[in-house]
Amino acid sequence: MMFSTIRALVGWAFQMNEAIPVKSARYGEFSAPAFGGMSPGELKDMAVDILAKISRLPAAEQAAIAAYFTGDIRAINAAADLLPAGWPTALRRELARGWANGEQLARSQELIGETFMLSQQTTSRRWQDARRTLGIGMQRGLDVLELQLTHYIRHPSRKNLHRYACIAA
């Protein structure tokens, strides 16, 4: 079973973890050829193995990946804890939620600034800092996972593509 990118693989693992492995088939049919002959139970086991690798990542990377791929409020709150402690907690949560929802804030930066008594420039700078901090955490985690799961990825990133290639003497 091959995935085009590490993001696709991790996204599939989170989706598969929540799915119930049920398959209806004709008599004598084992599984669809798209899944490489793996049964639904084997696919679920593979997803659990990938999530176990994610749970072994450092807390910052784990929180960023979980918030991005699940959008769960607990994961977003954990990702908000990665942002500077000097910022108000509600602001950190709102910025983390905006980052996890495709970098779309629920409110405009002007309204956020008015709520937390911040200027437009400060609000914009904090939004950029939050995106950078959480994005770096997620990318670090995905880079580590990509090295561990290269055999499932059709197009590894350029920096990991030749990581273990032999160097000519």
Residue 167: per-residue pLDDT: 46
Enter the pTM of the model. 0.82
Q: What is the mean pLDDT of the chain?
A: 86
65-71 LR contacts (CB < 8 Å, sep 24+): 65/10, 65/137, 65/138, 65/141, 65/142, 67/96, 67/99, 67/100, 67/134, 68/99, 68/100, 68/134, 68/138, 69/10, 69/11, 69/14, 70/14, 71/100, 71/101
At 20 the pLDDT is 72
Quick one: average pLDDT of 109-128?
94
